[in-house]
Amino acid sequence: MSVHGAAIIWERNPHESEEDTFSRNHRVMLNGDQEVNASASVEFKGDPNCADPEQMLVSAVSSCHMLFFLAIADFQGYQVESYEDNPKGYLEKNDRKGREITRIELSPQVTFSGDKVPGREAIEKIHAHAHKSCFIRNSVTADVTINDA
């Protein structure tokens, strides 16, 4: 078992454009004194210049998948030169009269180099193994799909 923590810091301030409510802006403190400026998403009176929790969830799923993909590819003798993804998460109504991220689409673009370069089928298998292994994906109820693998 391992434990993972962060710090969330919020202080009351007026909303930038709506004086009848408060600012949703806050800070997320992470390892290495990293600080992420966060807010609600724009549709919930958040700051468009800050990360929102939905973005952070989607990026966590993508990051976890990538790290497993890189480890599996390396273990199989493939050299990954670059990996880029532009994941999308869909916040939709659920059957409990609320909203949730119902699906996340990963669209990784991977470049390999070296003497051993995997074919499409091998790449798809690496993605499938990473998909099954990803801790974050295994922790969410959203459907996670991999496009253009």
- Per-residue model confidence as pLDDT tens digits over 19-78: 889 999 999 999 999 999 999 999 999 999 999 999 999 999 999 999 999 999 999 999
* pLDDT range class, residue 149, cuts 50, 70, 90: low
Strands 143-146, 99-106: pairing is parallel
Domain 53-146 in CATH 3.30.300.20: yes
- Domain segments of the chain as ranges: 7-44, 53-146
d(CA 65, CA 140): 13
Specify the pLDDT at position 96: 87
Enter the tokens of residue 40: 């609600």
- Going by C-alpha positions, the residue among 97, 105, 100 that lies closest to residue 127 is 105
- Which residues contact residue 79 at a Cβ distance below 8 angstroms, ignoring those fewer than 6 apart? 73, 112, 113, 114, 116
